[in-house]
Structure 1
Amino acid sequence: MIIGGAQENTLLNCLDLVRDYGDDVLLITGPSVGPEGDLLSQGRAGDLPVRILPNLLRSIHPSRDWAASRSIRQAIREFKPDVVHTHSAKGGMLGRYVAWDEQVPAVIHSVHGAPFHPYQSAVAREFFRRCEKWAAKHCHRMISVADAMTDLMVKANVAPREKFQTIYSGMDVEPFVHANDHRDAVRQKWGFENHHVVIGKIARLFHLKGHDDLVTAAAEVVGQNANVRFLLVGDGILRPSLKKRIDELGLTHHFVFTGLVPPTEVPSLIGAMDVLVHTSYREGLARALPQALIAGKPIVSYDVDGAREVTIDDLTGFLIPAQDTGQLARSLVQLAGDEPMRRRMGREGQSRFTDQFRHQTMTKEIRHLYGEVLASKSPRPV
């Protein structure tokens, strides 16, 4: 339960099921290790029962994974659930296998992003594809956070299309609706002046997140509009190398790094922005995109996975081919120099997506799917 979109989605779903529907819910997770921070330590789980399994870790480790599956099995036997709903690659593999073997009436898996992608070796990609295809046979239905995830999984022959249903990843939208309430104070805190146009990116400083592409584009953007500033929200292993390249390009005064921030600060940081940019090479549907739109900010995004489902060209922002730093720069220059366009796109995004991404909407649709599976008298799919 590190700080991340899939994790927040899972926590909100669990809390909604308890508070709004009176369901009995047990959240099973592994230790929250890594630099991203921990959702549970912030007290956001409230009274939700949580069981942390020490051996349930991200990396593949046969003996630990076997121990984790035994712990999951014990938890399922004690809790006796009607539904097991799994998330992430490791949790999805082990959880589906054990729940299916224990004949849990409804086994559901959410696809937040495929574990196989073009930036792996062919051997690794095929291995993870086969793992997902095997795991898909051990659940009744699969939830995609974007239509693009369904298309990707079906094309890879993981499971037939009828096994999937798209349910967008929900969030608490109110802080983003009110993201601009403290705009001036937050901009002042981070050193931005009234005439600065702030382009923000929210992502770990990690591989495949496209920060280097943004730095490349930034040189052209700043060359055409010296008032542009870039706000990078997040931290990670690439921070030293990114800072070095920014310094070499003479862009030091145009970039601000926030480091790791708690999720509660993200809305106000988006409020301080004028544009949000998303240059990740792969991601199911980055939560930062609807968050920015709900806050009334236009977006510029690479055309990857589910981004096109919220980045509607010339309506809510600009959708561009991945790694096309020239078009990235041109789109950012255009938005930076056109405040009426930014306002128009921001209003359009806010009206389109605020209700769609409410976590209560997500949970209602998920719980309806649980009911469909539980009510079905058909034999188990193969």
Structure 2
Amino acid sequence: MGNQKIRVLRIANRLNIGGPTYNVCYLTKHLGDSFETLLIAGQEDSSEGSSLYIAESMGLSPRLIPSMRRSINFSQDRKAYLEVRKIIREFKPHIVHTHAAKAGAIGRYAAYKEKVPVVLHTYHGHVFHSYFSKIKTSVFLAIERFLARRSSALIAISPLQKKELSEDYKIASPSKFRMVPLGFDLDRFFENMENKRASFRECWGLRGDVLAIALVGRLVPVKNHPLFLESISFVKSHTKKKIQVFLVGDGEEKNALITLCDELKLSYNTMPDPSADVIFTSWIEDVDRVFAGIDLVCLSSKNEGTPVSLVEAGCAGRAFISTDVGGIRDLLIDPQQGIVTPKNNVEAFKEALLNWVISAKPGSALGLNVRNTIAKKYSYKQLCLKMSKVYEELLAS
């Protein structure tokens, strides 16, 4: 394109706390001098933590579209669609790249109607199981296939996700997919970790002999926290080793999970309390301190893409136990890194967690070679390099 910069309009569902926000911000900030990127995003839900601070910390000023929200609202969705078309006409992008479901629907159709040369979409996860009824899911599948035919390419974030989307759900042929792993700035998970561990454990009153176990993420049904809490209850009844659980996050299921703690006879608090079984911390921005301070990360989800918490935990030297969903198995580069149990199999999860607690020692960490390999694979630099190559390939064709 000569000396002209390639204009990229990047459209995100919303800037809530999680991996997609980091990725759209890194791509906007670090894609390279040959690109000019405008980031627009919808509004996070009231129960979600805002991560606008992530964009602002990188010197970014996203253009926010309050009418673009996660839930379906035809009036608001039409308003968002018209706003996106207006932005396309003003910015005149060579590429429109959408991220996650709502942005993918509104953004891709708007780009198609405005005849943008290259249109592509990243699946940070999907909603084709464990979210909606069969009828609603079939409607979403039909819409997604319709949009895929109007996309220049589709981005999968792991080999397993690509296989699932192309072969299981038949969104598009495998040839239409490009595989680009997520990327993050992971340096902070290597820096001053001993001091961060001491700081976190002092803050929360954790004694040296206590095993701290965390689950980091939104408190929503798809994360399946009940499976995790049932497993914690089982472990506590089968060993006298001292453990404390940290639920880092917030969301619509918080009150239901507190009720479940009562039913399972798990004591809980929202403040530092060495006697509590479970601590509801809400969102914590400096998660590097969390992963330094705890000893194991768990994930009990019914559906995932590539969970940022497990990537960050691995770089911090923490092993994980997770259900076998999404791209979890693609994260494993060493047997010591984690244990993957069948999805929705609470007995398998219980046994894996109990075996870990029995054998674990507080402060045990993965080897530095494993941590470095994870950091290299999921660096934001590789994300930007691979994505820029995809853009150039699509523009050339």
TM-score over 0.5 for the alignment?
yes
Q: Describe the shift of the 1:4–1:39 C-alpha distance in structure 2 as closer, same or farther (beyond 3 A).
A: same
Between the aligned partners of 1:222 and 1:349, the Cα distance in structure 2 is 30
Between the aligned partners of 2:174 and 2:84, the Cα distance in structure 1 is 29
1:115 aligns with 2:127: yes
The equivalent of 1:151 in structure 2 is 163
The equivalent of 1:241 in structure 2 is 256
Give, in angstroms, the shift of residue 220 of structure 1.
2.0
Q: Is the 8 A contact 1:199 1:276 kept in 2?
A: yes
Cα deviation, 1:75-134, whole Å, max 9, x if unaligned, reads 111111111110111111111112122222221110111122145211011011011101
1:282 aligns with 2:295: no
**TM-score for the superposition, normalised by structure 2:** 0.88
Q: Is the 8 A contact 2:182 2:378 kept in 1?
A: yes
The equivalent of 2:3 in structure 1 is none
Q: Is the 8 A contact 1:142 1:165 kept in 2?
A: yes
Between the aligned partners of 1:334 and 1:347, the Cα distance in structure 2 is 24
The equivalent of 1:294 in structure 2 is 315
Q: Is the 8 A contact 1:275 1:298 kept in 2?
A: yes
The equivalent of 1:93 in structure 2 is 105
Between the aligned partners of 1:214 and 1:227, the Cα distance in structure 2 is 17
The CA RMSD measured in Å over matched residues stands at: 2.1
After superposing the two structures, state which structure 1 stretch, 122-131 or 315-324, moved more. Answer: 315-324
Which of the residues 69, 87, 92 maps onto 1:57?
69
The equivalent of 2:8 in structure 1 is none
Between the aligned partners of 2:359 and 2:370, the Cα distance in structure 1 is 17
Between the aligned partners of 1:72 and 1:48, the Cα distance in structure 2 is 19
Between the aligned partners of 1:45 and 1:274, the Cα distance in structure 2 is 29
Q: Is the 8 A contact 1:292 1:298 kept in 2?
A: yes
Q: How does 1:1-382 map to 2 (within 5 A)?
A: 1-17=15-31, 20-21=32-33, 23-41=35-53, 44=56, 46-154=58-166, 155-178=168-191, 179-223=193-237, 224-252=239-267, 253-262=276-285, 265-311=286-332, 314-339=335-360, 343=364, 345=366, 347=368, 349-376=370-397
Residue identity opposite 2:176 in structure 1 = K
Unpaired runs of at least 5, structure 2: 1-14, 268-275
| Secondary structure of 2:119's aligned partner | strand
Q: Describe the shift of the 1:52–1:332 C-alpha distance in structure 2 as closer, same or farther (beyond 3 A).
A: same
Give, in angstroms, the shift of residue 261 of structure 1.
2.2
Q: Describe the shift of the 1:364–1:42 C-alpha distance in structure 2 as closer, same or farther (beyond 3 A).
A: closer
Give, in angstroms, the shift of residue 29 of structure 1.
1.5
The equivalent of 1:379 in structure 2 is none
**TM-score for the superposition, normalised by structure 1:** 0.91
Between the aligned partners of 1:244 and 1:32, the Cα distance in structure 2 is 26
After superposing the two structures, state which structure 1 stretch, 343-352 or 286-295, moved more. Answer: 343-352
Between the aligned partners of 1:189 and 1:170, the Cα distance in structure 2 is 30
Residue identity opposite 1:326 in structure 2 = E
Q: Is the 8 A contact 1:225 1:333 kept in 2?
A: no
Q: Describe the shift of the 1:349–1:207 C-alpha distance in structure 2 as closer, same or farther (beyond 3 A).
A: farther
Residue identity opposite 1:198 in structure 2 = A
Cα deviation, 1:188-214, whole Å, max 9, x if unaligned, reads 211211000111110111112121111
After superposing the two structures, state which structure 1 stretch, 238-247 or 142-151, moved more. Answer: 238-247
Q: Describe the shift of the 1:180–1:284 C-alpha distance in structure 2 as closer, same or farther (beyond 3 A).
A: farther
Between the aligned partners of 1:190 and 1:342, the Cα distance in structure 2 is 16
| Secondary structure of 2:220's aligned partner | coil
